[in-house]
A and B are shown apart, each in its own frame.
Chain A
Amino acid sequence: MTETTRKTGVSRRTLLKGTAGLAGFAAGSGAITGFPYVMSAEPKVLRYLGTAVNEGDDISKQCLKDTGIKIEYITATTDDVTKRVMTQPNSFDVLDTEYFSLKKLVPSGNILALDAKKIKEFDNITPVFTKGETPGGKKIGNQGTAPWKVLYLEGKDSKTFSKSATEFVTLIPTVYNADTLGIRPDLIKRPISSWAELLNPEFKGKASILNIPSIGIMDAAMVVEATGKYKYADKGNMTKEEIDLTMKVMTEAKKAGQFRAFWKDFNESVNLMASGETVIQSMWSPAVTKVRSMGIACTFQPLKEGYRSWASGFCVSKGVSGAKLDWAYEFVNWFLSGYAGAYLNRQGYYSAVLSTAKAHMEPYEWAYWMEGKPAEKDIKAPDGSLLEKAGAVRDGGSYEDRMGGVACWNAVMDENDYMVRKWNEFIAA
């Protein structure tokens, strides 16, 4: 919605880049003196395409201050980001997208894998991404498009994912979270502990899930498994029969009037919950925080079957090279150096490099957000507004408990095409 359309001529841009590169080369070789200023004459600008999750004014301002790189945000929904990579790969420099999109992005050949050796903190990236386990050694569920399955490429220009670690990384992880259902404890008035409650007739006309097929069907699968109807081999990669079964359960519930509405974006989910139209629904952590900051009780309810997780990261457009590529590395390195990580942690997300983020947070903040301890002081949002009073404990507890409890990851299935058609039938039912 807030997408910024850019009209700067690409040819002029490439021309400038070319001259700057040449000048840089000349200056570097020492053949010509008195020229080096040409390079700094071009402002360091990166066009950053992504969803709004990582995009904050505070982050871009701090980045400009620390590195001199000016970030121009191009905000779009996950679907639109993917579309843009496919159709206009030259319209952005840095791409911030989710791991599950990689199954589409990598074969398209429009993105450039980053070199792990040039990422300073790469070895400090949380083992959640590299090994599929928490720092404490808990194994994480690997159903769906788990990041470690698509983290490495076989070679620089390869279109195949590598099973073992290589230096070519598809996405440098930035932010991730473990999602579950949001509930209104004041209206439900009893403990909720299972995904199965989403389809409990007790909440008829007061439940909701999100209308993004690839994510909605994962939530539906969590529910189906929780009710004991079926056990999937991989919820993130169903067979046609499994898709039919899942959609049948959902369609029956829909016809019985279980759902009040479906939602597609952050604000819709906040409004549904805040206005009391729904009391139980799929939700995202910051949306729960938002409802709570409106003074309305809302819990991001940990459930016994576990969480559905997602993760996103950075790569660059295939067209990026030369000086611009260096700035992209500089930007990614800056992003992992702590400020941004702490900023994201304070919003309830998780940062990829824990050690640097910790260094940028107060010990009491770290204890509340990451260790699941009761808040020693009032917890403030990055914008300074009050999130939780002293004594509160984060829903779902510590990083270990939450990430260790992940059951599956957002995914693009092999039968994605079929699934989308079935989802349409569900909506039309």
Chain B
Amino acid sequence: MTDTSDELLQQTSPGLARGSAQTRQKAARLSPSFFSWLQAGPMMIVFLAFFLIPLVFVVIVSFWDYNEYQLLPAFSGRGYTDTFEGCIAQLPELCTIGKTYVKTLKLCFMVWAITLFVGFWVAYFLAFHIKSKTWQMGLSLLCTIPFWTSNVIRMIAWIPLLGRNGLVNSGLLKVGVIDQPVEWLLYSEFSVVLALVHLFTFFMVVPIFNSMVRIDKSLIEAAYDAGATGFQTLVNVIIPLAKPGIVIGSIFVITIVMGDFITIGVMGGQQIAAAGKIIETRLNALQFPAAAANAVILLAITFLIITMMSRIVDIRKEL
């Protein structure tokens, strides 16, 4: 047993074979790959049990048939065909699912653009304008204060502010800027985007800040010495080096907003359709395969966006 594995080791890993007999024997008992497996194991088990296996189930169920009150485990594309029912007949007008996805993507894009802009400058300020490490830490912690309350509370807090008789409207009325309450402040795309930006900008700040603090300051000095303007330094040095952070932050924001239906529901007055909402409605109607099919579609679209983004930046290389 030991002999054969020693031989094997000699064949496969010449590096190890060159070592003393003692280490060779140890290595034979506990090969380095064993340690790698041991280290990766817990994460892998979690990943398998809570992500991959459920995902496989979702895909399987999405191809089942269903009726009013049960799942019928027989292959059927009904979940998908029902979802896209009438979409071709309706062209060039978009069908419900099409409209819903266009709306979701639109909201997602707006939130992404705003959180990226705001997040980038907050991170820039923290990384380059704050010199002391203590202050950097302190101010970063300050950014997390909103996270001390729940999502729902932070979201609902906007309602008395933006409502028809809310603080903003009554303030504007008193000052005399308007003579009728502004209706689009609440239960509109505006309020949805506002709430989402408020909720998720921090997810942009952290990864971008992380990339920025790791930028070698001497590179910026070199750029300065070479006569680059502030803008040139930003575009040619800082943004390229902060790219991994930007992509990671974008992935956070995009995946969350694509799947969100609670914020969109509450802030949009339940009048704005979201991809996640379709899944919820299907679940409530006990149409599990149709819900699963919609989940698969949503997942595919989100994957597509993320794949495109990681095409732009190879995160693994940059990290």
Whether both chains belong to one complex is answered with yes
A residues in contact (CB < 8 Å) with B: 79-80, 82-83, 86, 103-105, 107-108, 205, 211, 213, 254, 259-264, 271, 275-277, 412, 416-417, 420-421, 423-425, 427-429
Inter-subunit contact A416/B100 (CB<8 Å): no
Within 8 A of A (CB), among B92-145: 96, 99-100, 103
Pairs A–B under 8 Å by Cβ, sample size 28: A79-B284, A80-B284, A83-B283, A86-B70, A104-B69, A104-B286, A108-B69, A254-B271, A259-B269, A259-B271, A260-B187, A260-B269, A261-B271, A262-B269, A262-B271, A275-B166, A276-B163, A277-B186, A416-B68, A417-B82, A417-B285, A420-B282, A421-B85, A424-B96, A427-B271, A427-B273, A427-B277, A428-B273
Partner of A107, one of B69, B282, B285: B69
Cβ contacts B168-196/A at 8 Å (1 or 0 each): 00000000000000010011000000000
Interchain CA distance A299-B159 in the complex, whole Å: 24
Interchain CA distance A423-B278 in the complex, whole Å: 10
Partner of B270, one of A103, A412, A425, A427: A427
A195 CB to closest chain B CB, in angstroms?
21
Contact of B287 with A by CB under 8 A: yes
B163 CB to closest chain A CB, in angstroms?
5
Residues from chain A with Cβ under 8 Å of B165 in the complex = 275-276
Nearest 8 pairs of A and B residues by beta carbon: A261-B269, A428-B273, A262-B270, A79-B284, A425-B96, A104-B69, A211-B270, A108-B69
Residues from chain A with Cβ under 8 Å of B287 in the complex = 417, 420
Inter-subunit contact B284/A83 (CB<8 Å): yes
Inter-subunit contact A428/B99 (CB<8 Å): yes
Contact of B160 with A by CB under 8 A: yes
Inter-subunit contact A107/B68 (CB<8 Å): yes
Contact of B154 with A by CB under 8 A: no
What is the chain A residue whose CB lies nearest that of B94? A428
B66 CB to closest chain A CB, in angstroms?
9
Residues from chain B with Cβ under 8 Å of A108 in the complex = 69-70
Interchain CA distance A254-B272 in the complex, whole Å: 11
Q: How many B residues are at the interface, by size bracket?
A: 20 to 34
Interchain CA distance A417-B288 in the complex, whole Å: 12
What is the chain A residue whose CB lies nearest that of B103? A428
Q: A83-B286, A421-B82 are in contact. Are A264 and B70 (CB under 8 A)?
A: no
Residues from chain A with Cβ under 8 Å of B69 in the complex = 86, 104-105, 107-108
Q: Given known contacts A262-B271, A421-B85, A428-B273, what 11 new A-B pairs fall within 8 Å (CB)?
A: A104-B69, A104-B286, A260-B269, A264-B265, A276-B163, A277-B164, A417-B68, A417-B82, A417-B287, A420-B281, A428-B99
Interchain CA distance A423-B270 in the complex, whole Å: 12
Inter-subunit contact B270/A263 (CB<8 Å): yes
A99 CB to closest chain B CB, in angstroms?
15
Inter-subunit contact B160/A264 (CB<8 Å): no
Interchain CA distance A429-B99 in the complex, whole Å: 8
Interchain CA distance A36-B19 in the complex, whole Å: 76
Which of A107, A211, A276, A427 has the most chain B CB within a 10 Å cutoff?
A: A427
Inter-subunit contact A86/B68 (CB<8 Å): no
Interchain CA distance A44-B273 in the complex, whole Å: 46
